[in-house]
Amino acid sequence: MSAAAEKDPDGDRLKKILDIIGSTPTGDVEAALSGCGFGPTAEVAELVLKSGTCYSRPKSAVRFFRWAARSVAHTPYAWNLLVDILGKAAMFEPMWDAIRSMNQEGGGGLVSVATFASVFTSYCARGNFKEAAAAFDVMGRYGLKPDAVALNSLLSAICRVEGGAEAAREVFERTKAAVPPDADTFAILLEAWEKEGNAERAKSAFGEMVVRVGWDPANVPAYDSFLSTLVRSGQFDEALKFLQVMRSKGCLPGINFFDNAVDLLARKGDCANALDIWHIMVSEAGLVPNFSMYNGMIALCCNVGSLDYALRMLDEMPLNGVFANSVTYNVILEGFIKHRKAREAESFLKEMSKNEQLPAASNCAAAISLFFKEFNPSAAINVWRCVVEHDITPAEDSARELIAGLLDFGRLTEVKKCADEMIDMRVELSQSTIDNMKRAFIKADKHQSYDHIARRLKRR
């Protein structure tokens, strides 16, 4: 028999057990399991308890656990799963019964911090912060020292609940004399204050962290949460001051702060500070900017006219595994147009074409207008060719700028040709554009050419 065809006995047992638990009335589960003709292995017992079936039928899970214990010694993991199942179901009395049984069963060795972490999470999920804290207080009865790891599990469970930061702070204040906090303790609290946007509490926690555990370059989450809280609270100048202090201690935040800071500075139009922050992020923290950060910085640089920086960042993006899209390219093109850099805009349009990035309709119209103002009608016509070839819509503004520019240069032959294209494309020409064409053709004594356009316009 091939390996693929061989049966998996554990897989079969798992399926049959789950079928019984899922379909049998709770009171009959043990009898049904006893009648199936086999017992589980320790591994199968764990898989059963991990299943959604047991979590959705906690009372049946208890009966399975009892039945399985007759033929196999449950692992510590299986016991913890049972505690978790009961806690998630808010069956707190049976949950504590299970913990007491664990303590008796293994001489205390089965109960662990992981067991209590599950208890904390179950209580906190239902907003029972006092009960979770009380569980922390009785850990010693089960041979466990309530240390920083256990405290962090409790604080983390509290802080995962919306509005839990203040309750976590109260627990911290009550326990910190007996249980010395570590860097992770403060990182948890600072993340909670960030989530709730409480800058004053964050400053207090940060100050205490520095006094108690000192500066540690590895404590990135704490620095990141603290500075992000200040930024989001509108205290950007304060955040910059703290950042400089951190730099002097060899400590830096993570990407979250830099992302928030770059976004805020871009919206404020503060290119100088944004570039400083960018330098710290890339050169000192060794972090890789994401796509939105690159786009935000490029837009900022283009807006204030620092187009060389924008192009440099565009070249950097693929080196960091970030790839520009049409939005990125159009932001740069818009920057060239805004700052009347016609030659650069013409060159960049060629690069866009080479990279298969199309200019936006608004940029096409603005580029056509710029090229005519800079006495470069051939570049303007090339933009129109791009509009026609790639069907860039809406094309009305580009058509208006093209006709106006060609009329100014007296290039009526191109006007007639382009007007035909516009009519074929069903581009709506404004009445003022039509009137301007009529006057120009009549003045140049080219009545027939205008009549041709007029007839086509009427047949639309």
* HEC string for the chain: CCCCCCCCHHHHHHHHHHHHHHHCCHHHHHHHHHCCCCCCCHHHHHHHHHCHHHHHCHHHHHHHHHHHCCCCCCCHHHHHHHHHHHHHCCCHHHHHHHHHHHHHHCCCCCCCHHHHHHHHHHHHHCCCHHHHHHHHHCHHHHCCCCCHHHHHHHHHHHHCCCCCHHHHHHHHHHHCCCCCCCHHHHHHHHHHHHHHCCHHHHHHHHHHHHHHHCCCCCCHHHHHHHHHHHHHCCCHHHHHHHHHHHHHCCCCCCHHHHHHHHHHHHHHCCHHHHHHHHHHHHHHCCCCCCHHHHHHHHHHHHHHCCHHHHHHHHHHHHHHCCCCCHHHHHHHHHHHHHCCCHHHHHHHHHHHHHCCCCCCHHHHHHHHHHHHHCCCHHHHHHHHHHHHHHCCCCCHHHHHHHHHHHHHCCCHHHHHHHHHHHHHCCCCCCHHHHHHHHHHHHHCCCHHHHHHHHHHHHHC
Tokens of 58: 């906690």
**Among candidates 250, 260, 278, which has minimal Cα distance to 224?**
260
Query: Which residue matches tokens 């006219």?
Result: 305
Distance CA 245, CA 240 (A): 9
C-beta separation of 132 from 95 below 8 A: no
3-state secondary structure of 226: helix
C-beta separation of 307 from 344 below 8 A: yes
Distance CA 396, CA 35 (A): 80
In one-letter notation, the amino acid at residue 243 is L
pLDDT at 2: 39
pLDDT at 10: 74
Distance CA 411, CA 415 (A): 6
Q: How far is CA 372 from the centre of its chain?
A: 43
C-beta separation of 98 from 83 below 8 A: yes
pLDDT at 106: 61
**Among candidates 109, 114, 104, 57, which has minimal Cα distance to 81?**
114
Encode the chain (460 residues) as per-residue pLDDT tens digits.
334 334 566 788 889 999 999 999 999 999 999 888 787 889 999 999 999 999 999 999 999 999 999 989 999 999 999 999 999 999 999 999 999 999 988 655 799 999 999 999 999 999 999 999 999 999 999 989 899 999 999 999 999 999 999 999 999 999 999 999 999 999 999 999 999 999 999 999 999 999 999 999 999 999 999 999 999 998 999 999 999 999 999 999 999 999 999 999 998 899 999 999 999 999 999 999 999 999 999 999 999 999 999 999 999 999 999 999 999 999 999 999 999 999 999 999 999 999 999 999 999 999 999 999 999 999 999 999 999 999 999 999 999 999 999 999 999 999 999 999 999 999 999 999 999 999 999 999 998 988 999 999 888 7
Distance CA 372, CA 378 (A): 9
How crowded is residue 258: how many other Cβ atoms within 10 Å of its Cβ?
Answer: 26
